Chains A and B, each alone.
Chain A
Amino acid sequence: MEKIQAYQRPDGSVGIRNHVAILPTVSCANGVVSMIASAVPEAVPLYHGHGCGRGGSDLVLHARTLQNLAKNPNIAALLIIGLGCEIISPEGLQIVASLAKKPVQTLVIQKEGGTRKTAEKGIAIVKKLLEEASLIKRVTLPLSSITVGLECGGSDAFSGLTANPSVGIASDWVVDNGGTVILTETTEMIGTNHILKRRASCEEVAQRIDGIITETDATAQKLLGALAKLSIAPGNMDGGMSSIREKSLGCIVKAGNRPITQVVEYGEIPAQKGVVIMNGPGYDTESMTGVAASGAQLILFTTGRGQPLGFPIVPVIKIASNDVLYESMKDDMDVNAGAVLEGRTISEVGGEIISLIKRVIGGELTKAETNGQNGIVCMYTQYTAF
């Protein structure tokens, strides 16, 4: 079994980065988070546009996403900034985040006496947390403690032919070493129910897979009407796809071909290792937020058109599906799967991804990290805010 050099967290989880993060409970606290992050650039702000005006299922979903983001093992210590009147309470978030047994502190703007006073205190706290975090050193741990999120965004006709199958090789390697991969973007599984069901580890998982895909298909039909059929668009057909199933096969191939052990909801932490499906949207920033909350320490992201975005606390490896993109956006792309078009095999490119995964786990920065392409926390919503 493969070994890695990583950070052991007190709750047993394993981080590949040692971030001190600043998490607002509500978007109203973003300004204070920004003041602290400007003063202490080593700290990582987790800006988002939510935290209030939600009820029902969206409230549950947002609270869980923030709680589980706080628990992400790439975070060594956390400062929560609340406003004071929001629906997601900062104190409540602290209690749940503390379950991960890492240092968590909270400041509430309305209690501290406004922006500047809160920021001043926050700067001192973050500096101290950074000092403490710097004492945590990498140790030898099994690769089985790693969860890898899988994404495709800005796809082209080659994504499903070069980049995604190469990522599939890396996924099999992660799972064979006892780790976890998270396949998501349920819309991109439409038409493959029977194929994914066949791979389920038990009947219950098979039923859940069928359920989420059928529901997503129905929602797409309801929202888009006749346009839903265009999820296999004329452009896809011109590109060589004969059916939506063939298009979806090109997406799900990212997860390799090991058994599917669990289906989780958006931002839910899996209880099983192996291939896990997270029921979630196809939109890149929302999707990456969900897999980070589900505990992914690393994301493999394939793109054909060129998506430069990363995620604040999770290294994102960008895999270009074609040479033209790789050459034109070299500063953003980590791997060129377009080499498959020039005669390299999918296993060779898969091997290149595996070797990069090992280096990134060990601390090598991805292009998105080097570029500060940190992006934001963008949570999935079912309804508009009230």
Chain B
Amino acid sequence: MKTNVMVINEKDNVVVAAKNIAKGETVSLPGGETFPALADIPYGHKVACRDIADGQDIIKYGELIGRAKGLLKKGEWIHLHNLIIEE
């Protein structure tokens, strides 16, 4: 299946939707791995590509961009509602 997400950095635990992905639709990584989207994910938005435990680092561009609010399952949409930003 053709990939519908972008991997920015190998260390990342989120990937970015290249097009709108509806809840239940398949998220398809460039390496061939697939899993269902657990929410609607608009293009340009982040989706977890691994399970991320409560309070764990969320990594994009190989860098810390926030921490998980609750357990974020693979396929979950990641945005302001479930990402804690510490400045």
List residues of A whose CB falls within 8 A of some B CB.
157-158, 161-162, 165, 191, 195, 237-240, 242-243, 245-246, 249-250, 253, 257, 340-343, 345-346
Contacts and interface: CB of A to CB of B under 8 A. Distances in A.
Contacts of A345: 30
Q: Sort chain B's interface into a size bin.
A: 20 to 34
> Which of B2, B44, B80 has the most chain A CB atoms closer than 10 A to its own CB?
B44
Contacts of B45: 240
Given A157-B44, A242-B80, A343 B63 contact: no
A326 B18 CA distance: 16
Given A161-B6, A162-B6, A242 B19 contact: no
Given A240-B16, A345-B30, 4 more contacts: A240-B46, A242-B83, A341-B19, A342-B18
Nearest to B83: A242
Nearest to A343: B3
Nearest to B47: A240
B34 to A, nearest CB: 14
B63 A249 contact: yes
Nearest to B3: A343
Given A162-B6, A340-B6, A343-B3, A240 B79 contact: yes
Interface of B: 2-3, 6-9, 16-19, 30, 42-46, 60-63, 65-66, 78-80, 83, 85, 87
A250 B87 CA distance: 18
A342 B43 CA distance: 13
Nearest to A162: B6
B42 A240 contact: yes
Contacts of B7: 346
B44 A158 contact: yes
A69 to B, nearest CB: 33
Contacts of A237: 79-80
Nearest to A245: B65
Contacts of B87: 191
22 contacts: A157-B44, A161-B6, A161-B44, A162-B6, A165-B9, A195-B63, A239-B44, A240-B17, A240-B42, A242-B78, A242-B79, A243-B65, A249-B65, A250-B61, A340-B18, A341-B6, A341-B18, A341-B19, A343-B2, A343-B30, A345-B30, A346-B6
B8 A246 contact: no
Nearest to A253: B61
Contacts of A257: 62
